[in-house]
Amino acid sequence: MMNKVEICGIDTSRLPVLKEREKIALLERMKNGDPTARSQLINGNLRLVLSVVQRFTNRGENLDDLFQVGCIGLMKAIDHFDVSQGVKFSTYAVPMVIGEIRRHLRDFSPVRVSRSLKDTAYKAMQAKEKLTNRLGREPTIMEIAKEVQLPKENVVLALESIVDPVSLYEPVFSDGGDTICVMDQVSDRGGESGWIEELAIKDALAKLSDREKRIIALRFFQGKTQVEVSEEIGISQAQVSRLEKAALLKVKGEI
């Protein structure tokens, strides 16, 4: 996608880029009835759509289709943007474009979600948008649940059911260098050193005698006391203590 020049028959290298003051001027003209201002706004923000589409390049979707869907989100942003709010147009438009693409992916997702769950999710999203406009902030789950008159748990489940699965290779950050993907942010419980140490411990334990292995297993994997171990294997507690210390020293030496 980064090297693709043409999408939907449009040469992306030739797309115009509007400055913020130009966008506001066109929005004002559109509000005052200028029929050409809307087309100029759309053409002047196609690169914004393109930048959003690049976030979805690793999902196996047709990028031309996503670009067209993103343009629908752009047009909705243009039609609903309020210049009096004092925010940048891109700040408002990007979430609208992302939302439109995600709705498209959700509706055509291979993961099947029941119709009743989808209906609940749509009601919750409509209530969320309504409450956001009314409250001037994003509503809580409790407020959404109260608005749609459903239990909080049902609303959470419904909204979670329509969230798109995220590819491990989806880029989350790029600053002129190597792109950081979701996979790079996932912890592996200690990293490389953690599983190397685990392998080393297993290898060291494998070199113990059968009796030493049994004592270590009973003491540290089953949590038994030295007295309990002595009774189970038929030796004195002092012998258990001596064998345990010797085994631990062997393991430590191997690691």
For the whole model, what pTM was predicted? 0.42
Write out the DSSP string of 122-153: HHHHHHHHHHHHHHSSPPPHHHHHHHHTS-HH
Rounded-to-10 torsion of CA 35, 38, 40, 41: 160
Q: What local confidence, expressed as pLDDT, does residue 134 receive? A: 86
Q: Tell me the C-alpha distance between 161 and 55, whole Å.
A: 21
23-46 tens-digit pLDDT: 989 989 988 888 889 889 888 888
Nearest to 114 by CA among 171, 157, 57, 58: 157
| HSE value, Cβ hemisphere, 13 Å, CA-based, for 234 | 1
For residue 10, the cross-strand partners are: 7
Q: What local confidence, expressed as pLDDT, does residue 3 receive? A: 44
Q: Tell me the C-alpha distance between 215 and 233, whole Å.
A: 9
Give the residue ranges of the chain where pLDDT is below 70.
1-12, 58-60, 107-115, 161-200, 255
Q: What local confidence, expressed as pLDDT, does residue 59 receive? A: 64
Q: What local confidence, expressed as pLDDT, does residue 166 receive? A: 55
Q: What local confidence, expressed as pLDDT, does residue 54 receive? A: 83
110: which residues sit within 8 A by CB, 6+ positions away? Answer: none
